Amino acid sequence: MSHTLCIETICVKNRELKNLHYHQARLNKTRKELWGYSDKWDLPELIIIPDSIENELYKCRIAYGKEIDNIKWEPYSPRTIRKIQKVYDDTIDYSYKYDTRDELNTLFAQREDADEILIIKNGLVTDSFYCNVGFFDGEKWFTPTSYLLPGTQRALLLDSGIISEREIAENDIQNYSHIKLFNAMVGWGNAAMLPVSAIG
């Protein structure tokens, strides 16, 4: 599949760009690995917050390739998640945050009456549609080593010691009590947490 652009989705709160270090690191890594660009971008210099952005929660979406293609700003409201549907795809690849999400959209369409999906690849738990995931064993939180996308919030939580990595197979889900869904826009404290019985 040919991809022309990748994106970074950055949380903006109180007119402050959150976790910018992690977004910048992923963006520069993506530009080097996908297109061979060795120059390093400094996002604080490239992103100017418009005067129209107030203190509420906003999403800053940067589409880029060799250069920045566009930057979009929009208010953000978290989705309500009550039920998660397992879906299966042994070939899906979303190791870079592509602007196109056709494979993910196809899987999301299989959610039936659920609000979210949990993608199983080769018997292993990966991610949801928009989020990385964590599982609670009664003492600690673990996130799958078989993730699809190296999320910036995931990197922050790992570096902070809040979560740890572990291989989690589909059959292991029953060994945990809860699942949390988090991403750049949904910090750990605000992440949806559901009992694993909500996974169908």
CATH of the domain at 89: 3.20.10.10
| Cα gap 55→53, rounded to integer Å | 7
Q: Whose structure tokens read 């190296």? A: 150
Nearest to 192 by CA among 124, 125, 138, 118: 118
**71 and 115: one domain?**
no
Supply the mean pLDDT for the chain.
95
DSSP three-state, residue 60: strand
**120 and 59: one domain?**
no
Query: Over the stretch 35-92, which tens digit does the pLDDT of each residue have?
Result: 999 999 999 999 999 999 999 999 999 999 989 999 999 999 988 999 999 999 999 9
Give 139's contacts (C-beta < 8 A, 6+ positions apart). none
Please report which confidence band the pLDDT of residue 2 belongs to, taking 50, 70 and 90 as the band edges.
Answer: very low
Give 40's contacts (C-beta < 8 A, 6+ positions apart). 28
CB 31 within 8 A of CB 40: no
| Cα gap 155→108, rounded to integer Å | 24
CB-CB neighbours of 162 under 10 Å = 14
**119 and 70: one domain?**
no
Count the domains in the chain. Answer: 2
Judged against a pLDDT cut of 50, whether residue 97 lies above it is answered with yes
| Cα gap 53→186, rounded to integer Å | 19
Please give the residue range of the domain that contains residue 59: 6-75
What's the whole-model pTM score? 0.93
**98 and 157: one domain?**
yes
Q: End-to-end alpha-carbon separation of the chain, Å? A: 30
